[in-house]
Amino acid sequence: MGNFCSFSISCDAIFSRCLNCTVAKTAYIRDLEKNLGVLQTDCRKLIEARNDVKRRVMIAEEQHEMKRLDQVQGWLSRVEAVGTEVEEIIKDSSQEIERLCLGGYCSRNCKSSYKFGKRVAEKLRAVATLKSEGDFKDVAERVLKDSVNEIPIDPMIVGMQSIFDKVWRCLGEKQVGIIGLHGTGGVGKTTLLTQINNNFCNEQNDFDVVIWVVVSKDQQVEKIQEEIGEKIGLSSESWKKKSLPRKAQDLLEVLRKKKFLLLLDDIWERVDLTEVGIPHPDPNNGSKIVFTTRFVEVCGQMEAHKHFRVEFLENEEAWKLFRSKVGEDTLKNHPNILELAKNVAKECGGLPLALITIGRAMAFKKTPGEWSYAIQVLQRSASEFQGMDKVYPRLKFTYDSLPNDKVRSCFLYCSLLPEDFIVRKEGLIDCWIGEGFLDEYEGIGARNQGYHFIGILLNACLLEEVSGVDDSVKMHDVIRDMALWIACKVEKEKENFLAHAGARLTEAPKADKWIGVRRISLMENQIENLSEVPTCPRLLTLFLNSNRLKTINNDFFQSMSSLKLLDLSVNPLTKLPSGISKLVSLQHLDLSWTQLEELPKDLKALVNLKCLNLDRTYHLRTIPRKLISEFSMLRVLRMFYCGDSILFGGNEFLVEELLCLEVLNVLSIDLRSNSALQNFFSSRKLHKLIDSLRLHRLENIKSLNVCSLATMKHLDTLDISDCEDLEEVKIDIICKVQEIREPHGFENLRSVFLVSCHKLRDLTWLILAPNLRSLSVLNCFDMEEIIDISKFGEVQKIMGNLNPFAKVNVFTLQVLPKLKSIHRNALSLPLLQKMNIFECPLLKKLPLDSSRAITNKREFIIRGDKDWWEELEWEDETTQNVFLPFFRSWR
C-alpha cells in the first residue's frame, strides 16, 4: 500500500484560536464608544502639541531667519493628515453608535461596526505614535543663503585649464583639506579661484555652502568673521557687536555642522583659523579651504596639504588672450602688424594682467611704427623690486603710453588710496582740481576733463569700475604697487610719495620721514594726535582722513607753505588748529564728516582755496559771516547736511555770499527757508551750479514747480525732508515745453530722497529723470501713487514715449500707509537690483513682469514684510513663481 501522511490538530487549540479571534473582534465593537472618546481627547492634545511646534517654528523662521527641519515638517504633515482622518471618523461615528445594542456589546450590523471599531483603534495607535515623536529639542536650523553665489568673470580667460583640473581633483581627495595657490601679483590667482567658485554653480555641489572672502593686505579678523557670518546667517547688528572670541564661537558652532568650502582670496600672512572660528578641515567633516597668496611661505604657514604655483601663460595661450584684447580690425589693418603684435605679446612675459592691459592699450595702434615703438619700450629698463622685475616695467609701459603728464599725475595720485579702496569719481575729481591737474579755462569744463581722464584710465585698465557701486572706481592692488614704485623710485625727485594708507598706524611717522616728501597719505589709520611738528616745505598733498584725530598741534602746519590739498574728513575733530591759516597755498580742504562746531575766522587767509567740503558736518553751529565770500577762487563748495543750527538766519546771508563767488561751478547745499529758496530760484547763476540739494523744513510752501528744479542742470542728488506743507511738485506742461529744451529736465539726477513730506500724494515728475538710479521715499503719509497715471498720460502726449525708472537700481519705500501703486502697468526695469518695501499695506501690486527677473536674477532682491508679500496680487501664476525666490523678509 502507498505511504500516506497523517496529522491531528487538537480541538481545544482550534477552539481557543477561534475564541481569541472572536473576542478581539468583539472588543472593537465593545470598546467603540470608549475608544472614540479617547481618540477625540488624544487628537486634541496632539493638535495642541502641533500648534506649539508650529509656534516655535514660526518664531525661529521670522525672528531668527532660520529654516524648519525636514523631520519637523514631515511630522507636521503627518499630524495634519491624521487630524483630517480623525475628523472624518468623528463625523461618521454617530451612525455607528446607533447600531450598537445590548449595552454596546453587540451591533445590528456586526461587520460594519467591527470595521469601524478597528479603524478607530488604528487611529488611536497612530495618534499615540505621533505624540511620542513630537518632542523636538530643535525645530529649525540656521538659514544659509544660496550655497554658492556666481561671481562675474571675464569671458575671455585662457591658459588655466590644467591647473584648474589639478585643484578640482584635490577637492575630491579625502586627505586634502587645505589647498594653496601662490604666484606673482596679476598672474590670475583670483581668476582661478573665481572659476572654482563658479564651477559649483554648474556642477553637482556636495558642499552645504561655498563662502568667498577677500582678505587683502589689511587683514582684519573681524572683517573675515562678518563676511563668513553674512553667508551663513549670522548677520544681525547685535551679532556684529559681539567680541571677536564670541563671534568665533558662534561661527564654529554653525560651521562644524556643515560641509563647507571656504575660498580666501589674497592672503598676505597666516590666517589663524581658530581665532576666526573656522573648523580645521579633516577627512571626517569633508570641508575644504582654498586660498590665494603671493608668497609660497604663506602656504607653509597655513599648513596647506597641497599647494600649486599659478604660472605665467605659455606663448600660444598668451597670444590668444592678447589677440582678443587688441581686436582683429587692428591686426588686419597692415600686413606687418600681425608679426609685430606677436612680439609685443611675448614681451608681456605671459602675465595675464600685462597682456590684457597692453593689449587694450594697443587696440587702436594701426601703424607698424607704433607697434615697433611699443616693442622698443617694452624691452627697456629692469625693475628694482625683488621678484617684480618681470611685472612693473611691462605695466609701466601702459603708464608711459598715457596721453600726457596730467593724466599720468592723476593716475599716480590714486595710489595714495588704500588697497581695494572704492572712491567716488566726483570726490577724486575734487582732489584733482585742488591739485591743479585739470584745466580751469571753462569752469565746469574742468570736471568734464576729470571724467575724461577717468575714462582714459579705465580704458587702459589702470582703474576698474566697481560692480554694484554707481559712479565709483578702484585701483587693482598690483597696479597700485606699480604706481607707488614709479612715484617712490622711478620718479622720486619729481613725485616722492610716503603712503601708509590703511597700515593700522596709531602714530604718525616721525618728522624726519616727512623731509623732502611731496605727497603723504596716512588715511584709514588709528592716529589720535598730531603733536610733533614736521618740516616739509615741498609737501603738496596730505591725507589724514579716516583716523581718530582729536587734536592737532597749533604749529603742525607752520612749515607746509606749499601744501595744496589737506583732507581731515571722517575724524572726531571738534576744533581746527590756529596754524591752519599758514596754509596760504591750500586749494583743497576737506572737513566733511568731522565734529567741528565752528569755522575759525582765520580761514580767510586761505585765499587760494578752490574746493571746500563741509558735507555731513552735523555739529557745525557757526560759519562767520563774510568768510565764504573771501574764497574768491572757490570752484567747489559742498555743504550737504551741514549743521542744522548754522547761524545764517535761514541761509539768506549765505546766499548773498555765494553770489560773490564768480568762479564757483559746483555747489552742494541745504536750504531751510522760503526766502533762501526764492533767492536760489531767482539767481540763474546759483541754481545752475547745484550738484546736491537738500530742501529741509520749508514752511508754508504747498507747491514746487518742476521747471524751477529742472533748470538745475547739474543736479545729481535731491533730498526733500520734513516739508510738511508741501502738497505737490507740479509739472507745468507749458513751462516744460517752452523752457526745458532737453528731452527730459533732469538728465543728471541720480538720487532722490524724500522723507516726512506728509501731504505729497505722488511723484509723477520723476518721469522726467531718465537716469535716476536710486529712489527712497519714507514717512510720507498721504502718498497714494509714485506715478499718477493720468498726469503721466498728459506729459507723454507732449514729450513722446517715456520709460520711467529704466535705470533705477534701488527702490526704497517705507511707512507709506496710503500708497496703492508705484505704476499701474508693468515697467521695463533692466537694472533694478533691490526693492525695499516696508509698512506699505495698500500696495498690493508691483510693476514687474516675469521677463524682468531673468535679466538680472543674480543681483535682484525684494525685501519686505512676509505678510505683505503673501497678500500681493500678481499678473499671473508664472510671474508669481518667477519672483518668489527673490523675496527676503525684513526680519
Quote the CA–CA distance of 80 and 84 in Å, as a whole number.
Answer: 6
- State how far the alpha carbon of 39 is from the alpha carbons of 30, 103, 121, 132, in Å: 15, 21, 8, 15
Q: How many helices (H) and strands (E) does the chain have?
A: 30, 32
Closest CA to 744 of 698, 687, 688, 801: 801
Average pLDDT over residues 43-53: 87
Confidence category of residue 741, pLDDT binned at 50, 70, 90: very low
Q: In the prediction, which pLDDT does 16 show? A: 41
Q: Where are the beta strands (DSSP E) in 683-783?
A: 690-696, 703-705, 717-721, 728-730, 751-755, 774-778
Enter the C-alpha cell of residue 186: 596679476
Q: Which residues of 793-822 are buried (b: 16+ CB within 10 A; e: fewer)?
A: eebeeebeeeebbebbbbbbbbbbeebebb
Q: Long-range pairs for 735-743 at CB < 8 Å and ≥24 separation?
A: 735/705, 735/706, 735/707, 736/706, 736/707, 736/710, 736/768, 736/795, 736/798, 736/799, 737/798, 739/707, 739/711, 740/707, 740/710, 740/711, 743/770, 743/799, 743/800
Q: In the prediction, which pLDDT does 577 show? A: 94
Residues in the chain: 891
β-strand partners of 838: 814
Q: What is the CB neighbour count within 10 angstroms for residue 203?
A: 9
DSSP summary character for residue 785: B
Mean pLDDT check: name the lowest of 49-63, 163-177, 321-335, 648-662: 648-662
* pTM higher than 0.85: no
Answer whether residue 468 shows pLDDT above 70.
no
- The one-letter code for the residue type at 248 is A
Residue 438 near residue 635, CB atoms below 8 Å: no
Enter the C-alpha cell of residue 482: 606699480
Confidence category of residue 401, pLDDT binned at 50, 70, 90: confident
Average pLDDT over residues 112-127: 79
**For the segment 836-890, what is each residue's pLDDT rounded down to a tens digit?**
999 999 999 999 887 655 455 556 889 999 999 999 998 888 888 888 888 998 7
Residue 793 near residue 825, CB atoms below 8 Å: no
**For the segment 511-533, what is each residue's pLDDT rounded down to a tens digit?**
999 998 999 999 999 999 999 99
Residue 684 near residue 713, CB atoms below 8 Å: no
- State how far the alpha carbon of 644 is from the alpha carbons of 554, 593, 618, 619, in Å: 28, 14, 7, 8
Based on its alpha-carbon atoms, the radius of gyration of the chain, rounded to whole angstroms, reads 36
Q: In the prediction, which pLDDT does 803 show? A: 81
* Residue 353 burial (10 A CB sphere; 0-12, 13-18, 19+): buried
Q: Which residue has the higher pLDDT, 559 or 155?
A: 559
Answer whether residue 74 shows pLDDT above 60.
yes
In the chain the domains, ranked by start, together with CATH numbers, are: 20-142 (no CATH), 161-309 (3.40.50.300), 336-401 (no CATH), 404-495 (1.10.10)
Q: What is the DSSP string of 201-238?
A: HHS---SSEEEEEE--SS--HHHHHHHHHHHHT---HH
Confidence category of residue 100, pLDDT binned at 50, 70, 90: low
Confidence category of residue 777, pLDDT binned at 50, 70, 90: very high
Answer whether residue 380 shows pLDDT above 80.
no
* Residue 467 burial (10 A CB sphere; 0-12, 13-18, 19+): exposed
- For the CA atoms of 835, 839, 843, 849, the dihedral, rounded to the nearest 10 degrees, stands at 20
Residue 800 near residue 774, CB atoms below 8 Å: no
Which residues, 6+ apart, have CB-to-CB distance to 694 below 8 Å?
Answer: 640, 641, 669, 670, 671, 718, 719, 720, 721
Confidence category of residue 261, pLDDT binned at 50, 70, 90: very high
Q: In the prediction, which pLDDT does 745 show? A: 66
Quote the CA–CA distance of 274 and 248 in Å, as a whole number.
Answer: 8
Q: In the prediction, which pLDDT does 12 show? A: 44
Q: What is the CB neighbour count within 10 angstroms for residue 496?
A: 18
Answer whether residue 820 shows pLDDT above 80.
yes
Average pLDDT over residues 664-682: 81
Q: In the prediction, which pLDDT does 62 show? A: 66
Enter the C-alpha cell of residue 829: 526695469
Give the percent of the chain with pLDDT over 90. 35
3-state secondary structure of 720: strand
* Residue 27 burial (10 A CB sphere; 0-12, 13-18, 19+): middle
Which helix (H) or strand (E) segment holds residue 395: the answer is: helix 392-400
Quote the CA–CA distance of 596 and 602 in Å, as a whole number.
Answer: 15
Answer whether residue 431 shows pLDDT above 90.
yes
Answer whether residue 728 shows pLDDT above 80.
yes
Q: In the prediction, which pLDDT does 283 show? A: 86
Quote the CA–CA distance of 596 and 576 in Å, as a whole number.
Answer: 8
Average pLDDT over residues 258-285: 90
